[in-house]
C-alpha cells in the first residue's frame, strides 16, 4: 500500500511538472488564445448572421401586410387582379443551433415570396448574392472547431518526442522516467486535456450566448466535436510514431490537414457537380412558361378540361365560355403550366436527393466533412432541411390556391377574404439526427485505427526511441 502511495505521488508530481513545462511555452498560450478569440468571434458572427435573417423575416411580415393593404385599396373589386400582384411569404425559421453552424443558410433562400400564379416559375427567383462573399462563407463556431482546432493540435503535438531527441534531452528524460510509451502518452494527455478544456469553455459560452438548452441535442453536438478532436490527436499520434524529425512531422500533418479539409472537399464538390448537373432548374422554368404562353392560342375548354381533371372539386363552378377572358381560365392556365413542368421539377428534386446521398457516402473518407454534415443536420442548416422547406413551400402555395380559387370563381371581392390571417408562414424544420450516428461511428473508427497503428509503430520501434 505504501509503495502504491509513493508511485501515485511520483506520478502526480510528474504530471504537475509536465504541465508546468508545457504551459511555460509562450506558443502554447498563443494557440489557446487564438482558439478562444476565434471561437468567441465565431459565436458573435454566427449569431449576427442568424439575427440578420430573423430581422429580414420580421420585416417581411410588416411589408407583406403593407403591400396587401395597398393592393386592396387599388383592386378591392377585382380579386383576380389583386391576387395577380399580391405575394405571400413563407420563412424557413432558424433553429437555435443555426447560429452555431450556419451550414447552407447563406446559399439557400430562407424566405420565399410567391403569388398564386404558377409556382415553378417563382421558386428559383432568389436574391442576388456577392460571389466573393459566398466564396469566403460565414464564420461560426463550427468553422473554428473544424478548421482551426486541428492546426493548434498539430502545433502542440508534432514535436512531442522529436524536439527532445534533437536537443539531446530525450535520453535523460527516458532514463529518469522509464519506458518511452508512457512518457509519450502522458505528454499527449496533457495536450488533450488543454484542448478539451478550451472546447468545453467555448461550448459553455455557446450555451449561454446562443441560449442553447443543455439537453440530448447539446450532448450529441459535443460528442460529434469531441470525436473530431480525438481524430486529430490520433492522427498526430500515428505520424509521431514513425520517429521522424520535427520538420517531417509538421509537414506531414499540415499536408493531411490541407488534403482532408481543403483539397478533398474541393475535388468532391467538382466531382459532385459533374456527376449530378442540374440543368432542370432552367428547364422547369421554361416548361412552366411555355405551358402558360401556349394556352393563349388554344380553345379555353382544353385548358379547363385539364384543370377539372386536376381539381375535380371545382367542376361545380362552370366556366363562362362566352367570355374571351376570365380569371377563372387564367389561373387554370397557370396551374396547367405547373403541371407540365412537374416532370422536370421531379427530376431536379431527385438529383438534389442524389447529391445529398452521394455527399453522405463519399464523406466517409473525410472526417471534417462528416463532422460538418453532422453539425449541419443537428442545426437544421443542411441541404435536406432546405429540400424539406421547398416541399413546405409547395404545400403552402397549394393551400393558398385552394383557399382563393372558390372566391375568385364565384366573383368574390377583397371583402370576402380575411386578410388578417394571411401573415408570413413560419416553417420549422423537424429536428433530425439520422446520419449523426453514422458520422460518429465513422470518425470513431478512423480514430481507433490510427491509435492502434500508432501503438503498433511505437512497440515495433521501441528500441529506437
Using the predicted structure, report yes or no on whether residue 2 has a pLDDT greater than 60.
no
Give strand ranges (E) for 21-130. 88-93, 111-114
> Is 18:177 a contact under the CB 8 Å cutoff?
no
Mean pLDDT of 378-397: 91
Mean pLDDT of 291-299: 57
For 142, the domain range is 2-464
Average pLDDT, the chain: 83
Using the predicted structure, report yes or no on whether residue 364 has a pLDDT greater than 70.
yes
Using the predicted structure, report yes or no on whether residue 464 has a pLDDT greater than 80.
no
pLDDT of residue 291: 52
Cα 20 to the center of its chain, rounded Å: 40
> Terminal CA-to-CA distance of the chain, rounded, Å?
32
> Is 22:155 a contact under the CB 8 Å cutoff?
no
- Residue 239 phi, psi dihedral angles, 5° rounding: -65, -40
Out of 41-45, 205-209, 246-250, least confident range: 246-250
pLDDT of residue 169: 66
Query: Predicted confidence band at 196 (pLDDT cuts at 50, 70, 90)?
Result: very high
- Residue 242 phi, psi dihedral angles, 5° rounding: -75, -5
Using the predicted structure, report yes or no on whether residue 430 has a pLDDT greater than 90.
no
List residues bridging with 90 in a β-sheet. 112, 425
> Is 329:409 a contact under the CB 8 Å cutoff?
no
Using the predicted structure, report yes or no on whether residue 449 has a pLDDT greater than 90.
yes
pLDDT of residue 132: 46
> Is 36:90 a contact under the CB 8 Å cutoff?
no
pLDDT of residue 297: 52
Mean pLDDT of 369-377: 90
Total number of domains in the chain? 1
Grid coordinates of 316: 361545380
> Is 425:88 a contact under the CB 8 Å cutoff?
yes
288 vs 84: which has the higher pLDDT? 84
- What lies within 8 Å, CB to CB, of 425 at 6+ separation is 88, 89, 90, 91, 396
pLDDT of residue 201: 97
DSSP-derived 3-state class of residue 120: coil
The pLDDT tens digits for 146-189 are 999 999 999 999 888 777 777 666 666 666 555 677 778 888 99
Q: What does the alpha-carbon distance between residue 349 and residue 391 come to, in Å, rounded to a whole number?
A: 10
> Is 427:91 a contact under the CB 8 Å cutoff?
yes
Mean pLDDT of 24-36: 93
A 10 A CB-CB count for 212 gives 18
Percent share of the chain, pLDDT over 70: 84
> Is 80:131 a contact under the CB 8 Å cutoff?
no
pLDDT of residue 134: 46
> Is 180:169 a contact under the CB 8 Å cutoff?
no
Provide the residue count of the chain: 465
pTM of structure: 0.86
Using the predicted structure, report yes or no on whether residue 75 has a pLDDT greater than 70.
yes
- HEC string of 157-197? HCCCCHHHHHHCCHHHHHHHHCCHHHHHHHHHHHHHHHHHH
**DSSP state letter for 427:** E
Mean pLDDT of 277-306: 62
The pLDDT tens digits for 108-143 are 889 999 999 888 777 766 554 544 444 455 789 999
242 vs 345: which has the higher pLDDT? 242
Using the predicted structure, report yes or no on whether residue 266 has a pLDDT greater than 90.
no
Out of 30-39, 304-313, 443-452, least confident range: 304-313
pLDDT of residue 292: 53
Using the predicted structure, report yes or no on whether residue 274 has a pLDDT greater than 50.
yes
Query: Predicted confidence band at 203 (pLDDT cuts at 50, 70, 90)?
Result: very high
pLDDT of residue 139: 85
Using the predicted structure, report yes or no on whether residue 88 has a pLDDT greater than 70.
yes
Mean pLDDT of 254-263: 94
- HEC string of 64-114? HHHHHHHHHHHHCCCHHHHHHHCCEEEEEECCHHHHCCCCCCCCCCCEEEE
> Is 206:212 a contact under the CB 8 Å cutoff?
yes
The pLDDT tens digits for 312-341 are 888 887 777 666 778 888 888 888 877 777
Most confidently predicted of 10-24, 71-85, 112-126: 71-85
Q: What does the alpha-carbon distance between residue 306 and residue 375 come to, in Å, rounded to a whole number?
A: 46
CA 419 to each of CA 1, 67, 90, 406, 414: distance values in angstroms, whole numbers, following the listed order: 82, 12, 16, 16, 9
CA angle at 233 for the pair 227 and 234, rounded to the nearest 5°: 85
Using the predicted structure, report yes or no on whether residue 8 has a pLDDT greater than 70.
no
CA angle at 32 for the pair 153 and 221, rounded to the nearest 5°: 65
A 10 A CB-CB count for 282 gives 12
Query: Predicted confidence band at 288 (pLDDT cuts at 50, 70, 90)?
Result: low
Query: Predicted confidence band at 342 (pLDDT cuts at 50, 70, 90)?
Result: confident
Amino acid at each position: 500500500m505504501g509503495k502504491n502511495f509513493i508511485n501515485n505521488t511520483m506520478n502526480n508530481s510528474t504530471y504537475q511538472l509536465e504541465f508546468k513545462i508545457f504551459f511555460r511555452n509562450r506558443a502554447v498560450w498563443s494557440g489557446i488564445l487564438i482558439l478562444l478569440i476565434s471561437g468567441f468571434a465565431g459565436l458573435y458572427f454566427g449569431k449576427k448572421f442568424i439575427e440578420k435573417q430573423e430581422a429580414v423575416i420580421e420585416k417581411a411580415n410588416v411589408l407583406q401586410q403593407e403591400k396587401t393593404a395597398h393592393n386592396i385599396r387599388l383592386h378591392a373589386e377585382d380579386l383576380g387582379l389583386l391576387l395577380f400582384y399580391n405575394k405571400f411569404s413563407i420563412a424557413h425559421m432558424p433553429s437555435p443551433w443555426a447560429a452555431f453552424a450556419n451550414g447552407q443558410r447563406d446559399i439557400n433562400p430562407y424566405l420565399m415570396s410567391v403569388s398564386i400564379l404558377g409556382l415553378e416559375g417563382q421558386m428559383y427567383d432568389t436574391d442576388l448574392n456577392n460571389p466573393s462573399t459566398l466564396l469566403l462563407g460565414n464564420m461560426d463556431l463550427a468553422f473554428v472547431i473544424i478548421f482551426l482546432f486541428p492546426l493548434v493540435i498539430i502545433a502542440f503535438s508534432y514535436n512531442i518526442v522529436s524536439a527532445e531527441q534533437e536537443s539531446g534531452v530525450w535520453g535523460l528524460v527516458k532514463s529518469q522516467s522509464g519506458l518511452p510509451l508512457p512518457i509519450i502518452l502522458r505528454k499527449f494527455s496533457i495536450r488533450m486535456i488543454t484542448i478539451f478544456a478550451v472546447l468545453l469553455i467555448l461550448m459553455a459560452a455557446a450555451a449561454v450566448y446562443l441560449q442553447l438548452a443543455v439537453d440530448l441535442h447539446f450532448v450529441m453536438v459535443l460528442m460529434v466535436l469531441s470525436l473530431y478532436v480525438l481524430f486529430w490527436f490520433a492522427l498526430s499520434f500515428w505520424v509521431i510514431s514513425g520517429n521522424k524529425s520535427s520538420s517531417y512531422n509538421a509537414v506531414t500533418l499540415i499536408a493531411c490537414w490541407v488534403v482532408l479539409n481543403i483539397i478533398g472537399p474541393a475535388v468532391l464538390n467538382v466531382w459532385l457537380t459533374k456527376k449530378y448537373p442540374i440543368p432542370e432548374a432552367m428547364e422547369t422554368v421554361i416548361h412552366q412558361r411555355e405551358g402558360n404562353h401556349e394556352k393563349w392560342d388554344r380553345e379555353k375548354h382544353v385548358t379547363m378540361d385539364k384543370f377539372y381533371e386536376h381539381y375535380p372539386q371545382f367542376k361545380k363552378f362552370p366556366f363562362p365560355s362566352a367570355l374571351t377572358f376570365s380569371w377563372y381560365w387564367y389561373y387554370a392556365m397557370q396551374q396547367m403550366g405547373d403541371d407540365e413542368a412537374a416532370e422536370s421539377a421531379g427530376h431536379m428534386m431527385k438529383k438534389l436527393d442524389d447529391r445529398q446521398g452521394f455527399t453522405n457516402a463519399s464523406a466517409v473518407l473525410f472526417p471534417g466533412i462528416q463532422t460538418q454534415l453532422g453539425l449541419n443536420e443537428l442545426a437544421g442548416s443542411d441541404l435536406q432541411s432546405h429540400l424539406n422547406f421547398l416541399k413546405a413551400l409547395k404545400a403552402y402555395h397549394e393551400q393558398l390556391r385552394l383557399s382563393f380559387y372558390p372566391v375568385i370563381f364565384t366573383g368574390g371581392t377583397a371583402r370576402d377574404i380575411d386578410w388578417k390571417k394571411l401573415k408570413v408562414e413560419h416553417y420549422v424544420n423537424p429536428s433530425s439526427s439520422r446520419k449523426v450516428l453514422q458520422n460518429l461511428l465513422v470518425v470513431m473508427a478512423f480514430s481507433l485505427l490510427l491509435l492502434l497503428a500508432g501503438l503498433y509503430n511505437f512497440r515495433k520501434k521501441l528500441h529506437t526511441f
